[in-house]
Structure 1
């Protein structure tokens, strides 16, 4: 069976990221800085070495992937299940507004680990399950499309889905007293060979 190697990153900086506004399933475009940052990753990622691209269906992930792979015309899959965690009623609020309107609730949810769930949103278990399913589905499609024994895929997703996928694969419980596995703006390598697994984490971009 083929083994598909997946380079997983988060999208670059958006207008809402810049003001600490929660996006969830909402969307906002990359800032000029975000576009420059994504372009700066090209040298490290070496997109010409990849065989395909997987992104969520949200604009910020698509735009990041397009900047990194500009001019390469790589096969691309856009998968809804790679979307960010749904933050429900908290979507669109800044962190300051959230804490004003729902005092103490964010810290209360964070203390629940895997059961963190914004009102009318989804918990981390659901986010992880759909994210893993999406990566497996995407890797399987790439294995069918690409005539190589070890295809390489660039996957551009979101912080919440990226962390829940990695934490699930690593058996991490998401509690604050445990070391954080995922560093900011890093490249993570997964492998799909019938099972999805971690190859290595936190390569510097």
Structure 2
């Protein structure tokens, strides 16, 4: 059984603006840097055998803050990237709805095999993204059986893990929060994810109290 902490990166300027990021490589903003440091302090007393991050800088910066307390390198894995949204990336949600009304409707209706229009990069369907994300998590668990891992990724990756642990159909609405710099505890057991704790954010409030 492998212990896996799945962690969402800290806040970016595009998160704050509700601008879709996808594969666009946006760094943490000042609040995101504060969140990453608070997260790192909260996890300083835990043991990790490996720390792995998406290769996008918002996730890698968050992982680096954690790694400084553990003397471990941050390993990068592009499979832990957020879903690629093609032409949607860089747009506010209202702009997507206005420019691409049919594709917006498919997205909001959770058409899981629908692919947004291509932009700078080719977009991917939610089903393809789900498989990519879970394959990455399963692969790291297989490489470190019985160990403890910290995987720093994105909201979409965390959504996929939550759905897998609850055996949710992909078309069902997302009814659970996914917060920046949150801690989400899983076990990988008998080839599947088991969820132990979701959405831990107390460390962020504590850090604000200490300012």
Shorter-chain TM-score range: 0.7 to 0.9
| Residue from 88, 91, 96 that aligns with 1:90 | 88
Structure 1 stretch 27-36 or stretch 11-20: which is displaced more? 11-20
1:168-205: per-residue Cα shift (whole Å, max 9, x none)? Answer: 332213556x5714442432222224513123231422
Contact persistence 2:49–2:149 (CA under 8 A): yes
Contact persistence 1:6–1:152 (CA under 8 A): yes
TM superposition shift of 1:111: 0.8
Q: How does 1:2-151 map to 2 (within 5 A)?
A: 3-46=1-44, 48-103=46-101, 105-115=103-113, 117-120=115-118, 121-143=123-145, 150-151=146-147
Within 1, Cα distance between the matches of 2:49 and 2:15?
30
1:11-41: per-residue Cα shift (whole Å, max 9, x none)? Answer: 1101221222211111111001100011112
* 1:117–1:168 Cα change, 3 Å: farther
Within 2, Cα distance between the matches of 1:152 and 1:93?
37
Structure 1 stretch 18-27 or stretch 114-123: which is displaced more? 114-123
RMSD: 2.2
For structure 1, the residue ranges without an aligned partner over 5 or more in a row are: 144-149
Contact persistence 2:187–2:196 (CA under 8 A): no
Specify the alignment match of 1:201 in structure 2. 197
Q: Does 1:184 align with 2:183?
A: no
Within 2, Cα distance between the matches of 1:136 and 1:4?
10
For structure 2, the residue ranges without an aligned partner over 5 or more in a row are: 202-211
TM superposition shift of 1:110: 1.7
Where does structure 1 differ by over 4 angstroms across 4 or more consecutive aligned residues? Answer: none
